[in-house]
Structures are given as structure tokens and as C-alpha cells.
Chain A
Amino acid sequence: MTHTTDTVLVIILLSVLLSLGSSRLKALVETMALQGIMVSLVPILLDYGADGHVGGSLIFVQIMIVIKGVLIPGLLFTAARRMTIKREIEPIIGYHASLLAGLIMIMVSTLVTQRMHLTLPVGREMLLTTAITTLAAGLFLMMSRRKAITQVIGYLMLENGIYLVGTALTKQSHTLYVIEFGVLLDLLVGVMIMGIILNNINHAFDDVDTTYLGSLKD
């Protein structure tokens, strides 16, 4: 099933590039929903490829798809709809430059994966490359966009990347569903709280631009 896994990983990589280049908030949230679903599928595909049967992890994957693919994007949509957004994304670094940066990130992560000299199981190198790219692109998105909501999306992408690194590097035998579920719950509640703050920022400043959030300093 390596073939399917590779397809999924390529879709994740494309979603990263798409989110770096997108100028519409709605499209960005949709891309994140797609990415969330694809990321949730990766562990089950790896599992399937390894020993040919799918165990109890199936239920967990379903929960994860619901949270990452439906609930969190839904929350972001609600937050986005309530906002008075004048211009949509307002990048600090332009879209074309961001795309170029994304391509460079893919190259660097391929290089890093090769230089790490890990004896990874077959097919995991590609996964690790994807993971590092997603992680770096998430950080990049947080820093290069002015809107507070885009920073939340960047954070989600960072979290997706870290989850993929975890899947790529560690054996499945360490997986405890209580733990995985706790991490997911934290993420969900985190996005909810960020959504509430976003809403309040919008009320207080009539915008969600982070340049307004600069009055506290020394």
C-alpha cells in the first residue's frame, strides 16, 4: 500500500503549497480541512502496509478525521464569518515569495531527512520529509501573515507537522489511545479558545490584524 501512502503524502505537500499561496481565507480553511483529513489517514495506511490488517486504531482515526477535518475547520469558518475582514490575508511576505519559500523548505527537508542517517522502515523517508516541510511551513505562515486567524491556521499546520514527525519516527507499539486522544482534545479546546479570543479581538478593534496587538511592551 506504499503507493496509496505516497499519494496521501503528495496531497499533504500540495496542501502546504496551496495554503502558502492562497489569498482567500475560505480557501485556506478548506485546504486545512483537506490537510487534516489526509494527516489523520497516514497512520492507518502505514499500519495497513506493515501487517495487512487494521485493528482498533480505526475508531481513533475516525475520531481524528472528525476533529481535524470537520470540527476545527468548522470552528474556523464560524470565526471567519463573524469577522469584518477588509482585506483577506494581508501577507507580510508576498504569495509568490511564500511559494518559493515553500519549495525551498521541501528541498531542505529532503536534505535533512537524508543527513539524519536514520534507519527508517521503507516509505518513512518520504513521510519524514513531508512532516518537516509541514512543520516549517506552519511556522512560516505564523510569522509571515498579519491576520490573527491566519496565525491560528499556521499553528494547526505546525501541529499537523509535529504529529507526522511522531508517526514517522516512533514505532506504533508506543501508541496509547488515551494519550493520542488527550493531545487531540488539547488541540480542539485550544482552537476553541483561540476562536473566542479572535472574536473578542474583532469586537474590540473592528479587525483581526495583529498590528493592533502591540501596545504592551517595555
Chain B
Amino acid sequence: MIEYVFILPIIGGLLALFVPVVMARGLLILAALFHLSLTVLGWMGKLAPVYVNYFRVTPEGMLVLMVTSFIFVFISIYAVSYAYETNLQNERIFVSCMLLFLGTMSMVALSDHPIMLWIAVEATTLVSAPLIFIKRSKEALEATWKYVMICSVGIALALLGCFFITLSMDIGNIDVALSFSSLNLVAKQLDPLWLKTGFVFIVIGFGTKMGLAPMHTWLPDAHSQAPSAASALLSGALLNCAFLGIFKVNALMHVAGLGGFSSNVLVAFGLLSVLVAGIFILNQPDYKRMLAYSSIENMGVIAFGIGVGGIASFGAIIHLIHHSLLKSSLFLSAGNLLLGFGTKLVPKVGNIAKLFPATFVSFFAGFAGISGFPPFGVFISEILIIIGAFQAGRYGSVGILIFGLLLVFAGAARIVMDISFGETSQEVLVKEKFFRVMPSFVLLLTSIGLCLWLPNSIYQKILHTIEIIGGGFHG
């Protein structure tokens, strides 16, 4: 019964509210490890869903679930160490919301019913809001308010999109169960006009959650105000889940023969996101906001890659995996800096190469990775996406994409150089500790490992994922 993958974290999350803090910490790590082992079993196909009307094991869902589960293990180690050192207030709520967050994200990954997917995505917003708010500062309050309101309204529009897809079913006089897998079988008979309308609403709705421009306005605030462990989860796992919703409807569009339309929509949103991120990152005074804008850029790249199709869609999925690994590692390193200096402002932070040697290595390596330098995986994925776009004849789009990537690189490089080697007058408040450095290194090494050697089972899962939108090495 694969439903345990989300039921158990949710039970654990509720339990964490009522046990002593020390036990709650143990529960977090234990639940993370248990979740990973269940996910591995599910990955190998040993677990089947029981509620077949609502849930289903799909290759794209398993990929997202695996990435989420893997990074969650290391984020939870970091979170426990972080909470222990900083005497975090309301720690039980923090642990509880982390577990509920894991549970609801797993639910997104397994959902097959469009509205069940919607319920799960909305639930991720609700259970992650207290995580952003945990420090109770005025800024955190503002960020949480924007997050909840903008995402709720956005996701409400996605629900409207789901209803339009149901309408397209009724107009086509089809009587099948409402689920992505059965819709894919009858996609050709769906009413194209309403399917298109539904797709646009869903891209706007889930795109809000995924951080696609111009609906991204909540993202830099929320990611910069949340405690770093939560930022790492928001950026590394949540954005993928929102993407999954868009991906499934995009697949439906492709099967229905409307792939050209959905591809163009995704390419447009993707390019806009990359450009917007590039513009806002240039004079960014806050290094956590810089990472947040980089997430917007990377989500744009993923949307672009899926939109272009063919070999680029393979690149997009690889990009999704490596972005999660690298960005969560970067947010964890940024958390060490924030703890060490007590400020997020770039001009006040500096010389981390001497003051925090281990964090410096992980932060710098993470930056190199996310900018597309080998031996990290983003190098391969971006090359695949660019080659794919050339094959598809989208020369203009490729030009804009590369320009956007360069802007982001220029902006980020300035900040990273500044805080790595610049001067600082700030006192070091807290030194780096093994358990707050180790998780970032493991995530970075995983990215290198997956770049050098991609296991066959992952390769097959990716191919099965993109098969439906006509992606692959021969497309």
C-alpha cells in the first residue's frame, strides 16, 4: 500500500505536536529515513496503490517523490542540528509542519485524480505557511501573508482549470473516471477549446506555486524569510511538486494533439521567468533572495525544456533533479552564513573563505554547479536543453534563454565573490558545525555522482516520463 508514503508522515507530524521536543527531533529523522525506505520500495514497484481512483504510481511522480525524500533526509539532519543550536521557538510546531509538509508533497507526487492533486498542492501551502512564519518577525509575517494569499488565489484558479477539463470531458460525451491516466486514454475525444482553456488556467494556477514569472512575487519573500531548512525544502521539493501538476496536464495536451499550443505557453512562461530572475538578481542586496531568484530562473529553464520537447525534455527532468540537490545544498550553506553573521545583507557579509572554510567550499561549489559548470549535473541538462531547442528550430528563444542565463550568472557571481573574498566588519556569532555542513556536501556529491554515472533505473524512469510528450533521444 503505497499510500503509507504520505499517511505515515502526516501521522508523525500530528504526533510531533504532543511529544517532548527531544522525541520530536528523533521522530523527524526517523520519519525521514522511513519515508526514504518506503519510497525506494515504491520505486522498485513493490508497493501498489489501494485507492486506485485517486492515486497511482507514475514515473514522473516517483522521480519527484524520490528527489523529495532524498533531500528531506539531509535537510532533517540539518534542521535538528539547527534547532538544537539556536533554541528555536515553537520547535514542536516546526517539526510537525516539516513532517506534514513532507506528507502533503508525497501526496502530490502520487495523485492521479486532478482535484486530489489540487487538494494536496493547496495543503502544501497551508502546512508550509507556519514554517515561514516560525520566527515571528514583522518581515516573516509579511512574507507568510503574501505566500498564503497569492498562492491560495493562484491555486484557486487551477481548480477552475480542473473544472474546465471536466467540462471538456462532458462536451465530448465521455464517461470515464476523472483521473489523468484514464483521461490520457480518451484524450482525442476531449473538447479541444475547453481543454486549452483549462490548461492555461492550470499553468497560471500551479505556475504561481512553481514560481513562474509574472506570478512569482511571493517566492523571494517566502524563501528568504523562512528558516534555511524550510527554504531548502520550499525550493528543492515544493517547486517540483507544483511543476508535476503542470507536467501532467501538459502530457494530456500532447496526447490530445494540442502539444504545439501547450509547448508555446510553457516556452513563453519559461523565458519570461529566466529574464525576470536575471533582471532582479543583478543588484540584489540579499544573498537568500539571490538564491530565491535563482530558483525562479531554474524553474523557467525546466518549463522551457519541457516546452521545447525532444531531447530538451530529457534535459529538463535532469535539470529538475540537479536543481533540487544543488539548491537545497546552497540554502543550507546560506543558513550557516546567516547563523554565523546574523545578517542576510551582502555588503555586511564577507571573507567566508577564511571564516567558514567548509561552508565556503560547499557554497562556492554549489554556485558553480547551479551556474552550469562541470562536473555538476546542471552542465549536462542545460546543454541538452540548448541542443534540443536548436533541433526544434527555436533559435530566437535559445538566444533569449542564453542571455537570461548570462544575466543570472553575472548577478550571482558578483554576490558570491563579494561574500567569499570581500571585507567584513561583522563578528562571527556561531561557528560552523559538522552536522550543519555535512548535509550540503552530501547533496553536492550526489549531484556530481549522478552527473558522472546515471543509474539505469533512473535513466529508464526519465525516459518513461517523457515518452508521453514525445521526448527522448530520437525525438
- Listed in ascending order, the chain A residues whose CB lies under 8 Å from chain B are 118, 135, 139, 142, 148, 151, 155, 158-159, 162, 165-166, 169-171, 173-174, 176, 178-179, 182-183, 185-186, 189-190, 193-194, 197, 200-201, 204-205, 210, 213-216, 218
Contacts and interface: CB of A to CB of B under 8 A. Distances in A.
Interface string B153-178: 10010011001101100110001001
Interface of B: 53-54, 113, 115-116, 118-119, 122-123, 125-126, 129-130, 133, 136, 138-139, 141-146, 148-149, 152-153, 156, 159-160, 163-164, 166-167, 170-171, 175, 178, 220-221, 224-225, 280, 284, 289
Contacts of A151: 149
B163 A190 contact: no
Contact of A200 (B122, B126, B133, B160): B133
Chain B facing A: main interface SS = helix
A216 B221 contact: yes
A67 to B, nearest CB: 15
A187 B324 CA distance: 29
Given A200-B136, A213-B145, A142 B163 contact: no
Contact of A218 (B123, B175, B289): B289
Contacts of A169: 163-164, 166-167, 170
A6 to B, nearest CB: 22
Contact of A162 (B123, B143, B145, B156): B156
B145 A197 contact: yes
Contacts of A158: 153, 156
Contact of B119 (A135, A165, A179, A214): A179
A213 B118 CA distance: 28
A15 B456 CA distance: 60
B159 A162 contact: yes
Nearest to A151: B149
Given A179-B113, A218-B284, A197 B144 contact: yes
Nearest to A217: B221
A205 B139 CA distance: 11
26 contacts: A118-B171, A135-B160, A142-B153, A155-B153, A165-B160, A166-B166, A174-B166, A176-B53, A179-B113, A179-B115, A182-B119, A183-B119, A189-B123, A190-B125, A190-B126, A193-B126, A193-B129, A197-B129, A197-B133, A197-B144, A210-B145, A213-B142, A213-B145, A216-B142, A216-B143, A218-B284
Interface hub of B129, B163, B166, B224 (most chain A Cβ within 10 A): B163
Contact of B130 (A155, A162, A193): A193
Nearest to B170: A171
Contacts of B141: 197, 200-201, 204, 213
Given A159-B156, A169-B167, A190-B152, 7 more contacts: A170-B166, A194-B148, A197-B129, A201-B141, A210-B145, A213-B141, A218-B284
A216 B224 CA distance: 10
A165 B163 CA distance: 8
Chain A facing B: main interface SS = helix
Contacts of A159: 156
Given A179-B113, A216-B142, A197 B160 contact: no
A162 B163 contact: yes
Contact of B138 (A155, A174, A185, A205): A205
A190 B148 contact: yes
Contacts of B224: 216
Contacts of A183: 115, 118-119, 159
B348 to A, nearest CB: 18
A194 to B, nearest CB: 6
Contact of B116 (A173, A182, A215): A182
Contacts of B138: 204-205, 215
Contacts of A179: 54, 113, 115-116, 119
A218 B224 CA distance: 12
Contact of B149 (A155, A166, A205): A155
A162 to B, nearest CB: 5
Contacts of B153: 139, 142, 155, 158
Contacts of A213: 141-142, 145-146
B167 A170 contact: yes
Contacts of A194: 148-149
Given A190-B126, A197-B148, A215 B280 contact: no
A145 to B, nearest CB: 13
Contacts of A118: 167, 171
Shortest beta-carbon contacts, A-B, top 7: A182-B119, A213-B142, A170-B166, A166-B163, A186-B122, A169-B167, A216-B221
Contacts of B125: 190
Contacts of A170: 163, 166-167, 170
Contacts of B143: 216
A174 B159 CA distance: 15
Nearest to A163: B159
Nearest to B137: A204
